[in-house]
Amino acid sequence: MKIGLLVCDQVLPELTAQYDSYEVMFKSLLLQIDPLLDFQIYSAYANQLPANVDECDVYLSTGSKHSVNDDLPWITELIDFIAKLHQQKKKFIGICFGHQLIAKALGGEVSVSDKGWGVGVAFNQVQQLQPWMQSNHTAGADSLDIVVSHKEQISKLPTTCKVIAGNKFCPQFMIQVDQHLLGIQGHPEFSKQYSKSLINTRLDIIEPNRVREAFCSLNAEVDDLKMASWMLNFYAH
């Protein structure tokens, strides 16, 4: 399987000495499940996108410090590309920023949450079990606990989307469109240590109580490998 990885951001300069790039984080995660995967990297933030949707078998996007509402040419082009993937029913998984791009591309809305930042580990309940929710890495498909880092959420869901997992803080945490688009607000590629380091760079903009809650939540086990298995199952299903 050839995965087209649409990279929408870079690791902060102050963290690059300690952590891998986002593309390496994703490759490291998914290759644990299937070591035969092939990746084609596109720097979407630098206006690099596939010339046509058939360059790769499936697509995946990273998160970003940017908002899907930012008036930047590369974001507009990326939204158009995702709309094209939807039209041609090409499989795409959007992570965080990419999750929100799906909503934006299909006529939904994304806005800054009045609940503040989502950081640390989010504990989600699966509301609609899907055939691809099978994994040998963590028992049970009724919950999904993974690292998050976002201040925006989907505020209006497109009519074509269905919510398949969520929590009180972020009700529309995971969405699906037919059998070809999947959006995940969380970051299965982030380690808990990276999450903590990222929070520490934003102590001036994240509410102190949210920081305390986040650091406490990072003591929990996370379902990163379960989510990785689900992602590859979704592509193959």
Average pLDDT of span 86-114: 97
Q: Tell me if 159 sits within 8 A of 109, measured CB to CB.
A: no
Give the helix/strand (H/E) hosting 87: helix 73-87
Say how far apart CA 220 and CA 122 lie, in whole Å: 10
pLDDT of residue 138: 61
- Cα dihedral 173, 73, 181, 24 in deg (nearest 10): -80
The β-bridge relationship of strands 58-61 and 118-126 is: unpaired
Question: What pTM does this model have?
Answer: 0.96
Residue 82: HSE in the Cβ half-sphere, 13 Å Cα cutoff: 31
Average pLDDT in the 163-180 region? 97
**Model pLDDT for residues 5-16, shown as the tens digit of each residue:** 999 999 999 999
**Domain ranges across the chain:** 2-236
* Distance from the first to the final alpha carbon of the chain: 13
Q: Say yes or no: domain 2-236 is CATH 3.40.50.2300.
A: no
Q: At what angle do helices 224-236 and 22-31 cross, to 10 degrees?
A: 80
pLDDT of 99 higher than 70: yes
Residue 174 contacts by C-beta under 8 Å, 6 or more apart in sequence? 99, 124, 144, 163, 164, 165, 166, 182, 183, 184, 185
Angle between helices 208-217 and 192-200 in degrees, nearest 10: 160
The one-character DSSP state at 119 is E
